[in-house]
Structure formats: C-alpha cells, structure tokens
Chains A and B, each alone.
Chain A
Amino acid sequence: MTKPVLQVKGLHKSFGALQATKNVSLDLKPNEIHALIGPNGAGKSTLIGQIAGWITPDSGSIILDGEDVTGETVASRSQKGLGRSFQVSSLAMEVSARRNVMLSVQASQGSSFRFWGQIKSDRDLRETAGHWLVKVGLSGREDVAVSELSHGERRQVEVACALALKPKALLLDEPMAGLGPTGSVQLTEFLEEIRPEIPILLIEHDMDAVFRLADRITVLVGGAAILSGSVDEIRASALVREAYLGEEA
C-alpha cells in the first residue's frame, strides 16, 4: 500500500448556520489523478480554500507528505510542496510570464530577502523560469505580459509557477474552464504527462475530461463527500446521477 501524498481528515467548516464542509476526508496517492466533482454550491471552493490555506477549518486536519500543515500559512504550504492553480487565474498581470515564474523559482531557491543583486541580470533565475514555461508549452511566449495572454495561456503560466516550486502534489481548480476544445485536449495530454511525477487533485466541471483523466473520483454534495470510487463506479452510481449528473442534464 502506497502512502498518500495529501490527506484530508474529517474536515468541518461552518459559516454561521451554513455548514459548508461536513466531515470531508479524502486522500491523494502517488501517480494518480483524483477528481473532485460536485454541483455548484456543493462546497468545492470552501474545501479547496481549506486545503490551500486561505480558510481555517473548524476541525479536522490536512496532511501533506506525512506532515500536518493544518495551521500553516498559504505561503508555507506552497513551500512545502502544495502547488495550485486558480479557477480565475491569479497572476501579476502587469509583468511578463517569465517574471511570474521567476518569483516561484526564487522562492524555491530560498530567501527573498536578498536586496542587492538584480534579477534582470540573474541568468540562472531567468533560464530556470524559461525552462518551466517551455515545459508547459509556452515556448516563445515567455516575455509577453500576462495581461496580453489568453485565458488558457494564463492557466499554463500558473501551472508553470506551481511546477517551479517542485511540488509534491498539485491542486488544480477547474483548469479546463475557458479553454477551447484544442486547449482542453492539450491540457489533458499535459496532465497525463506529469501524472507519474506529481499526483493531481483535480476540481473540474468538464465531465469528459474528468472521466478521461481521473483514476478516482470523489463526489461532493451539500458540503459532504457522498461517494468516492473509480470512474466506472461513479458512472454507474444512481446516487451521483440523481444528485449531480441529473441536475446538469
């Protein structure tokens, strides 16, 4: 039995009377893509917020590579190997894709309290960032301002930023959203490619992509994980069809 890279144990979170997360437990094992699906309002955002560190859970714990990170900041979780992309991409828009990735490279290399050396002439920093951008398929677009990139390209930049931190697990929040058909296919291939190196917790609305990519699927409804299983099991489940697929159709 392989040890999970990321474990979520008995997570609870309420906002006033609203129970947004009810006793959610799930894990992510090496070499797998674990998809998290659920209708709108199922509490996916709140759950991701807690895993990434923006929201503090009321109870429960989050364990990254054997270490309890429940009380850690967002920055420290990123440092410890939790990479992520956002539903609406969150980058420094005014500067180039390279500059965005350089920041992650700089963080992975250690302290940002270096005041004198100029990053403009730091070849190692620039080239390492460039390497990750090429890896996600943005060759030739490295020095374009993020504000001029397409939605799909911005998502690629985010993934490059995450990869530059050498993550142990990736948390991708609706990476397919806003991508055209070609973009989706490319991203699907890319995720297939990195799966052996970095396991992925994938939150996704695009059911085709989920069924194609996922090794396991967990269904979140009303804040609770109602079902977890293989693609075939989820496809076959009447419960899911009723709670989720039924709604979508």
Chain B
Amino acid sequence: MQVTDTAPKPVTGFKFNREGATNVAVMAVLLALPLWASSVGEDYYVNLASLITIFAIAGVGLNFAIGQGGMVSFGHAAFFGIGGYTAGIAAFHSFEETLFMSVPFAISGTNQMLIIWVVAMALCGLAALAIGAISLRTEGVYFIMITLAFAQMIYYFAISWPTYGGEDGLSIYLRNQIGAVDTDHALTFFLICFGLLLAAIFVSARLSGSRFGAALGTARMNETRLATSGINPFPIKLTGFIISAMITGLAGALFAELNGFVGPSMLSWHRSGEIMVFVILGGVGRLYGPVIGASLFVLLETYIGEWTEHWQLLLGFALLGVVLFARGGVMGLIAGRARHD
C-alpha cells in the first residue's frame, strides 16, 4: 500500500526551515497557554490543552503507521480504547479493592499511572500483534476495511460485556497517581501529558531515522524494493504497526484519566476517523503534524461547537477541502513539500 508521493521523511529535531520554525512555534504555544491559564486560575483551558496533547499523542502513533509505514489503519480507536479501558479497569479494581482475576494467579487493580501505562502499552502491543498478523497479510483497501472491522469487533465486545459497564462505560472516581505527584492538579496533569507527547515524538523520530525506520519507510515507498534488498517486509511492517498501536494506546490511557471516564465511544469507528483526521489535517508523515491537526480539531470543536451544534458539518467541509485541495495538510501549506536527503 502506497501513501502518496508527498509523504515526506520526518524531520528529526529542529532545523532552521519553515517546518522547524512552525514546530517550535506550535509546541511553544501549546506549552505557554496552559501555563498562563493556570496562573490566572482558568483550569478549563488547561484541560483543553491536555486534550489537544493527548489527541496529538494518539495522532503521533497513527502517523507512525501511515506516514512511515504506509499502513492506513482505520482501526486505531481499538488501541485508544484498550489503553483507556486499561486505566479504567485498573482504577475500578483499585477503588473497589477487588481482583481483576484470581486464576491462574491473582491480579489486583492499581492506581499507579506508571504501571497502567506499561500495561496499557503492552496490551495494545499484543492486540496489534494479533490484528496486524492477519491484516498485514492483505494490502490496500483490504487492510483499511479489516482494521476497521477488528476495531468494531472490540467495540461490540465492550458494549456487550457487562462487568465493566457495557454500554454505559466505567467511571474513574479518583484519578490515578504517580507516587507523590498531585495528578489531580490540572497543570501537573498537562505537563505529564506534554512530556509524554515530547517523548512520543522523540521516539518516533529516532525510530524513523534508524535502520528499522529505513526498512519501514521502504515498505511504504516500494515493498518490492524492500524484499529485493533481502529484508522480509512482513515482520518489519508488523513491528511498525505494534509500535504505532502502543503509542496510541498510551494516549487512550491518558484520555481516560483526563475525562475520569471510559466508555465504548473511545472504541467507536468515529474515533478511528478522528485520529486519522489529526494526522491528515497536520500533514501525513510530518513529525509534528498531529499536534497541529489535534489543535485545529479541538479548537474547531470547542469554538464552533459553542456557536452551532452542527460543527461537524463544518468539520466535514474543512476536511473535504484539505483532502481535495490542500494535499499535505496544514504543514504542507506552511512548509511546502518536504525535502529528502
């Protein structure tokens, strides 16, 4: 499956060009606004920035699959949701002081975020291993539909499994903790998310520039070349898919913490579409593209949503406009076509 010829190589680190300057500006604004909002006591805006940051992490994950590996997954909500449910279920058992499972060995809940993150990413990795192993045997439009179908399967499972709230979802009454850090403090939580966003971008950039990244990028550009060079494409793509799912899963765990709630809507296919929108609005394959995409999405939802309840109509037209007339997304408009070395 080939993503357009415009799919660029990610720029590693900041360079003195328009893309680099935009990246710095966007990250600076994203960091500065909540700092300011918190200082004047407007936690609402801090949480809005946290939402943008979390969506951006989800987008960075998907962008790794699409922009680097050329794997157009329409089922990343599955990983977003699994991450969310991991946080929710862990908190649920921790709160109720019950066991998650007792056979063959006892697993209790936890309210420690660090553990939850690791477990969430591990579970997403396993789910991606299973989904990818089947989906990656196919390509192109099959891959899109199959990833969508598997995400839908998990969605229906969540709806019909009553233990964790089924259709109603599950509340997280007390936000999970990291040692003595006050995660309930809005700004603290934002800074945690922002740190993880930077980490996700950094890891994504390192991986893209590595030998593995070179192989994965070639899988996107020309799979025949990869195989002819003596590298079997399947394990490379599967590994890329798993990494991508783990990053998006981490975002899901944070999303559940932010909302204090996890429900099947995290797994719905609209969510998969939205994560894809973050990636595309910003520009496929641009390292910081999802940050721009998620910002635009959240601002559109918040401010046009205040003005009219039919904001999705405008989102639809905006998205259509970007796809039809502004290939390369916002970053494409700002920085032009990406250059390659």
Contact = CB atoms under 8 A, between A and B. Distances in A.
Interface of A: 52, 73-76, 78-79, 84, 86, 90-96, 99-100, 102-104, 106-108, 111-120, 143, 145, 161-162, 165
In terms of DSSP, what is the predominant structure of the interface of chain B? helix
Contact of B211 (A78, A86, A100, A117): A117
B225 A120 contact: no
Given A73-B232, A92-B217, A143-B341, A78 B227 contact: yes
Contacts, number: 115
Contact of B229 (A96, A115, A145, A165): A165
Contacts of B211: 106, 111-115, 117, 119
Contact of A161 (B228, B239, B341): B228
Could you say which of B7, B217, B221 has the most chain A C-beta atoms within 10 Å of its C-beta? B221
Contacts of B206: 115-116, 118
A65 to B, nearest CB: 15
Interface in B245-259: none
A104 B218 CA distance: 11
Contacts of A90: 222, 224-225, 228
B222 A92 contact: yes
Given A103-B226, A117-B211, A165-B230, 18 more contacts: A75-B228, A75-B231, A75-B232, A78-B228, A84-B228, A91-B222, A92-B218, A92-B225, A93-B221, A104-B229, A113-B212, A113-B239, A114-B211, A115-B207, A119-B211, A120-B209, A120-B341, A145-B340
A14 to B, nearest CB: 24
B215 interface: yes
Contacts of B210: 114-119
A114 B340 contact: no
Contact of A115 (B7, B9, B212, B233): B212
Contacts of B12: 118, 120
Interface residues of B, number: 32
B260 to A, nearest CB: 35
B288 to A, nearest CB: 18
B335 interface: no
Interface pairs A-B: 6 shortest CB-CB: A78-B230, A107-B230, A92-B221, A75-B232, A79-B230, A74-B227
B227 A75 contact: yes
A112 B212 contact: yes
Contacts of B228: 52, 74-75, 78, 84, 86, 90, 161-162
Given A94-B5, A94-B221, A75 B212 contact: no
B27 interface: no
